[in-house]
Every structure is written in C-alpha cells, then in structure tokens.
Amino acid sequence: MGRQLDGTPMIDVDLRSDTLTKPTPEMRDAIAAAVVGDAAYGEDPTVQELEEYCAALFGKPAALFTATGTMSNQIAVRALTSPGDEIVLDYFHHINYFESRQTALHAGVVFHPCFPHNGVLSSHDVAQAIHGKLRDTGYCRPTLVCLENTISFYGGKVFPLTVLKDTADFAHGKGISVYVDGARLLNACVRSGLDPRCYAAPTDAVSLCFAKGLGAPFGSILAGSSEFVGRARLVRKWLGGNMHQAGIMAAAALFALRNNIGQLDVDHEHARLLYRRLSDPAMPAMSIIPPDTNIVMFDVSALGVTAAAFVAEAARHGVGLLDWTHGLVRAVAHHPITAEQIEAAASAIRTIYDQCMRWQPACTPHPLDQRTLSWQERALH
C-alpha cells in the first residue's frame, strides 16, 4: 500500500462500475483452451455452445452472441420496431439515458420516456403513454416497451416479477412487444432466488451482459424466439457485428456463467455494507438510494458540491466513483473488491463529507474545487 504526500495510506478502490472486473487466471486458461472456428460461417463451436447454453438458461428457443450490452439493445430495438415507431420506457433506463442518439440513428424510432416510481414501469404507465397522444392512423404508434432488470439507476433494483408479467400482458394485449435490457439480470436472479426463465418468460426478447459483475472481458447475449433471433442476426451483421473466431470470447462468457454467478451475492453484500456506512446518522445531509443489488447511488447536492467535484476529491483519496447527473454519485460493488476496501472507501467518503460540512458558505470558497467539469460538461466543450 502506497502513501499520500501527507503520510496517510493510499487506498485504491475503484467503484465506478462493475465493468472494471478483469478476467481471472482461470478464465484466461478457459480462453486459451477455446476451440474456435469462423462464427460468421456458423462454424465456431464455442459460440454455438454459448448460444445454446443461454437459450436454455432463459428458456427461449434461440440466442445470439453480441459484442456489448449496447449492441444487444440496439439490435433488439431495430429487430422489434420499424422506423417511425414509438418506444415506451423509463426515462433513466440505459436505452434512453445513454443510447438515445444511436437508437435514433439505427432504428429511427422515438422514445416516450416515463417517470414511474423507482423505474418500475407498470401497465398503468404504459396505458397512460398510449392514451396520452392521438394514436389513429397517421400518428405515432408505440410498438415496443423496454424494461430494465436490474434497474441500474435505482440502486440495481430487481424488477418485481408480478409487475413484469402484468406490464407484458397488457402490452401484448395491445400488440406491443416487450424487451428487457437484462445487462444485470443474473444479479436480479441471485437477489430474488428466481430462475432466469421466470424473468424471461413474459418477454419477447431479453439480454444479459457478461462483462459486468460476471467478470468476462467481453460480450452480451440476446435471447428470444427463433424468428426474433433470425432477424437479430441480420441486424447484427448490418452493424458490423458478425464476428469470426469469437469462441475466444464465448469461452470467457461460458466460464463466467459456470463459475461466477455466486460471486454476485458477495457484491450485493458489499453494496449493503457501503450503504450502512454511508447512512450513518453522523452524515445526515447524505441522501442515498438503498441498493437492492450491487449499486449505491448517493446525492451530494446538500453538501454544496457538484457530483463532479465530489468524485474528483474521492479520486485524490484513491476511491473511484462515478459522477452521475442531478448531483448523484454512483458506487458499484464488484469482484474482487473486499469488505476492507469498502470500509476504506466509506471512510474516505466520510472525510470528504466532513470537509464539505465544515464549509462556511458566506465567508470562504468551498473546500472542493468546483471548477471540475462533469463528464456531461466536458462533452459539451
């Protein structure tokens, strides 16, 4: 462990995202041993094995290996809509929050973002979205509902299965398809104890990311009907996602599915530990979205700082946090972060909190450098 200039020990714990997990030596062995062929000709046995494994995992007839979670989302949206269609979804879901530009480019659809309680989009929300506009011939028609499970913005909240079934039944009754962005779907399964097939059954298509808490370096899967996957395969090709010796990557994903699901529970425990430390009565100005799985979101606006300034200060303490919008800071527990590292991160956050609370607004400049630009501001410069 190194030391900072003032002699305090340097901590080094990066909680920005669970995409920071790295392949373990055992996973690297599985990658090295992968049998490969040209997947573009349907001849990579490891890719085939992964697709069959995932189809069975989700109880769907077919599955398709893709490069990233974003690519899975883009393919699913393109495969399930026509240009000019409308998608009903939660404002904070990844597809709206991070992918609105590419969705407009690739699928030519419009979003109808809703603000449901805790991101749990109900049949009532979908009904309101449908009836809130003119829907006769010539007007925009909703043809797809997108959901997220876990719901990343709300502490990695598990989408309740009863609501999922009800929303999907309602949508299907209106001829609307249902896609679940399941980047962290196995976190939901580990948390609720339910089989992935339960969450997949009400949907037309579902995705999963291998490169988050599961710890693979690459990849995502889409599962659905044979017809959907056939169309998705075509869209993947249009996007340049037709891969060759992709068995190298599929082997890592298979290894993750066979060995790493259990470690998600440890991440959930660590997120709860961080939440307990941050909800200390000694830090009353901290407002926190409680984690349901591995994500802790906390609001620093009451400390008189921007999320960007708070995150920059945390980085100086050796703690990686992510600057979200709305004064929110995100911390994600992931492998191989330990409980001790979580404790160290919590005490660094406490130190920064105290530093902010000592500030006398009328007389002195704020102790943290407020000129730090958030990533949103940087993007605009």
**Residues in touch with ligand PLP (CB under 6 A):** 19, 68-70, 73, 94, 148, 152, 181, 183, 209, 211, 220
**In the complex, what is the shortest distance from the CB of residue 293 to ligand PLP, in angstroms, rounded to a whole number?**
11
Indicate the residue whose CB is closest to ligand PLP.
Answer: 69
**In the complex, what is the shortest distance from the CB of residue 150 to ligand PLP, in angstroms, rounded to a whole number?**
8
For residues 204 and 313, which CB has a smaller minimum distance to ligand PLP in the complex? Answer: 204
Q: Cα separations (Å) of 319 from 20, 331, 336, 369?
A: 13, 10, 15, 17
Residue 82 near residue 74, CB atoms below 8 Å: no
For residues 19 and 355, which CB has a smaller minimum distance to ligand PLP in the complex? Answer: 19
Q: What is the largest CA-CA distance in the chain?
A: 70
How does DSSP classify residue 8?
P
For residues 153 and 353, which CB has a smaller minimum distance to ligand PLP in the complex? Answer: 153
At 261 the three-state DSSP class reads coil
For residues 211 and 368, which CB has a smaller minimum distance to ligand PLP in the complex? Answer: 211
**In the complex, what is the shortest distance from the CB of residue 303 to ligand PLP, in angstroms, rounded to a whole number?**
27
**In the complex, what is the shortest distance from the CB of residue 52 to ligand PLP, in angstroms, rounded to a whole number?**
22
- Interstrand relation of 110-114 and 142-148 (parallel, antiparallel or unpaired): unpaired
> Per residue, what are the HEC states of 150-171?
CEHHHCCECCCHHHHHHHHHHH
- Rg over CA atoms, the chain: 22
Q: What amino acid is encoded at 253 in this protein?
A: A
Contacts of 80 (CB under 8 A, 6+ apart): 143, 144, 177, 179, 204, 205, 228
**In the complex, what is the shortest distance from the CB of residue 190 to ligand PLP, in angstroms, rounded to a whole number?**
16
For residues 93 and 231, which CB has a smaller minimum distance to ligand PLP in the complex? Answer: 93
